[in-house]
Structure 1
Amino acid sequence: MSRYLGPCFKKIRRLGALPGLTNKIPRSRSDLQIQLRSIKKSQYRLRLEEKQKFRFHYGLTERQLLKYVRIAGKTKGSTGRVLLQLLEMRLDNILFRLGMASTIPGARQLVNHRHILVNGDIVDIPNYRCKPLDIIAAKDKERSKAMIIKNYLISSSHGELPNHLTMDSLQHKGFVNQIIDSKCSGLKINELLVVEYYSRQT
């Protein structure tokens, strides 16, 4: 299954807020909340919707998400917690969380177009796994820096940085301090239901 490129609001109405997918907000938020609360859902649907939230928030294909679930399952520790850490430490998500991009698709575009440096080297792989002590910056070109500055000014995420990240707003550089703690993700997604969804598919 390919990456979703359709209407963002269609997914928001069904699944709730997906800040990584779009920074726009539906006009009728009260209608959205009533709709989400009033539907009685089966356990399968709950697991499916949590999985879909993961997919659309992080901008993953079905195959990519399944790959991450399998990696998390083979890693020591809670599978759900490791899964969340793997997704949160992706370069495109780090750019989004730093406020250097207003959405994760926007961050992916910056990386694909070779505007981003990690520790002084160009990285054009959006799923590059960032590590503690990594330094994220724009390439030393006016166009690259202008895009980062524009995104930083309009992004709503730069005012609420998680503890594992630091942003130098003057030099427009981001710093990865540590691996994210799952409690600091700020997402209203139950990663354990995602793991349960895939465990019942096999």
Structure 2
Amino acid sequence: MARYTGPKSRIARRFGEAIFGPDKVLSKRNFPPGQHGNNRRKKTSEYGVMLAEKQKAKYTYGVLEKQFRNMFEKAARTSGITGEILLQNLECRLDNVVYRLGIAPTRAAARQLVGHKHIIVDGEVVNIPSYAVKPGQIIGVREKSKSLEVIANALAGFNHSKYPWIEWDENTKSGKLLHKPERADIPENIKEQLIVELYSK
């Protein structure tokens, strides 16, 4: 499966935000990468700002261009605010829900756990990271995978009350998607209206 495997700190520095989680490099070198990263004075065009916002959303959720455009088009066909629906759909991807539940420390790790068949949805193994989780579905860890060190370490001390749209059951090591998140509850710093404007050009 094609996905970005290059240096993540470089991408985080490009946007000036720790989009992949805490980043020591970003705190030391909080300017864009490249030979002239520290000296850029050129003003970014309106199109450049919109494009950067779309790229940031893609890298944050680990989605490729074609997949992202398909998600946007699906959101545009749904009644409601297109940008909000797009973010809600991204949040309801299985790899993202696994990450939000604290089963994995990063979205990339969550994608790997899903791909390696460690995650179950309503008792059935699902190994498709882009699987759209529906409200009411139960997402858990396979019985034989519960002892995995990466899962145990991620869950240790994780604050499960952080996200009001999901519920965690410590006894069964499973979580439930209560409803699609409200925009105000999604912590990602993404200006979704810019993405809508970009695709509407």
Give the TM-score range, shorter chain: 0.7 to 0.9
Of the three residues 43, 46, 59, the one matched with 1:40 is: 43
Structure-2 residue corresponding to 1:126: 129
Gaps of 5+ in 2: 33-37
User: Is 1:71 aligned to 2:74, yes or no?
Assistant: yes
Task: Look up the match of 2:200.
Answer: 199
Instruction: Report if the CA contact (8 A) 1:138-1:145 is conserved.
Output: no
Q: Distance in 1 between matches of 2:179 and 2:16?
A: 29
Structure 2 residue identity aligned to 1:182: R
Q: For CA contacts below 8 A with separation 6 or more, give which structure has more relative contact order.
A: 1
1:52-91 CA distance string (max 9 Å, x none): 1111011011101000011011111111011011100000
Equivalent residues of 1:98, 1:161 under 8 A apart: no
Aligned to 1:183: 184
2:9–2:25 Cα contact (<8 Å) kept: no
State how far apart, in whole Å, the 1-side matches of 2:200 and 2:11 are.
Answer: 24
In structure 1, the residue matched to 2:65 is 62
Work out whether 1:23 is the aligned partner of 2:21. yes
Query: Percent of counterpart pairs with the same letter?
Result: 35
Gaps of 5+ in 1: none
TM-score, L = length of structure 1: 0.86
> Contact 2:160–2:167 at 8 Å: present in 1 too?
no
Q: 2: CA distance between counterparts of 1:172 and 1:87?
A: 23
SS of residue paired to 2:120: strand
Partner of 2:85 in structure 1?
82
* 1:138/1:159 CA distance change after superposition, 3 Å: closer
Aligned residues: 193
Provide the aligned C-alpha RMSD in A.
Answer: 2.3
Q: Which has the higher helix share?
A: 1
SS in structure 2 at match of 1:127? coil
- Cα distance, 1:195 vs structure 2: 1.4
Aligned residues of 1:132 and 1:177 also touching (Cα < 8 A)? yes
Within the candidate set 103, 106, 111, 1:108 is matched to 111
Aligned to 2:164: 163
